[in-house]
Structure 1
């Protein structure tokens, strides 16, 4: 005779297995659906490889503003889940009092770098988990900046020159206009993520400008670049509101501008974030060889 407790355990385990299976099935279907949407609404551009070696095809995945209303609602639901994940993983940093006026700025900067390193070490696994969730998104949250006046609102090149930022065949630059600390995260074709704790990737990408660990500028910029050779494959670009600095009325809401240059062709995106929000997948593109099969894309 089978003991009731054995039957109960079997039911619980069976139910748990079914629930896990249903979740896995749903996530798989969601990914397939997202890929189908991305393919339907993507745009492609033929580019000349500035370093030689034939043509390139850049496929830009769609932005949320291009989606029909019901797909926008689905995206908002996924974004709410990402916000919840961000909070549950404890990735919102506690407020730290700003230094008193007249404090040793260099020592304060070193203290803040040390605090960030300690925080990163303590939250390494949650950061990876959250980034992996964000990277599943196939629709960008940025808005393509097409207005000529807005395109020149932020002088990205002037900021990059000031900070020693390099240019290259693929260049991704982020700018904002306050003392907050926003961070650029680039998911590379090799599967690596370039960000402040991994500034050089094996596939040649470099984060060469990383600003506002301390609130030193209200015209900051960050820059990731592949100088001469950029790998083929998919690039996903995330922006994270890492820390709110309470300096000179800097608010917990921040407008940013993202510029993506691929083989001399530029696209710009604008977005807004609030402190405590999940990392935003702003845009994504795929770089490939232009072959006879793809020339009719």
Structure 2
């Protein structure tokens, strides 16, 4: 995803001289082509995320469109005060890119697990949050984020994620993407877990369960309209996110459903518990342990349907 995003950013920068890219000593093997072509619009600030956000806000207030780049937890937590006060308060046009969302860097331990970013930034009301599911959406996210004035957070994973889309889908701000229709339950997924959700839906289909799968590339603004309608029509909504169970997708759906009257869907949450994984593991292993892989999601769906 990160390669697709940076390649699209480079194409945009070729026709827009106001595009700047800042990194906190990360992105090696990914950012070189941009830095070589646009040396005067590229800054490596070193391991200094707070400084990076302050510089980005200053450039944005000077009329530039600025992209910052770091690992997800570093990009959102080391410099949270600067994001809140320098970027968000001034509604600065800064695109904050967090790579390694979820357990992408799982083998490097808890310090590199990007799990709280969605919850933290969702609490800052003017920040758009985009979490693409594949390289195709990552390219679309680059254009969408840079076309909107104001702050945006783009949550990417790393490299090697398969394309889920054969062709670019409609990528409308604040709207879900409907990958698969069904009637027995709805699976809402963020990021590359859309792929696990689609695999789970195929397994469930073989068992006679017709599951719909929607991707949620835009966590903010949230597609409450579509989710409200779904909550009135599906018996179960299963939310899937490689992030903390508090404050992210599950919370957005719960808040939406809570405002509805009458019969509504049962909410089943597949996410990372607030205390994290508790161990060091690859992304694939972490997903298996936490039942976020396709087999785990099938089990969660069965349990939810058995209780209604």
The TM-score by the shorter chain falls in which range?
A: under 0.3
Question: Looking at both structures, which has the greater relative contact order when contacts are Cα pairs under 8 Å and sequence separation is at least 6?
Answer: 1
- Identify, as 1 or 2, the structure richer in helix: 2
TM-score by length of 2: 0.24
TM-score by length of 1: 0.24
- Report which of the two structures shows the higher radius of gyration computed on alpha carbons: 1
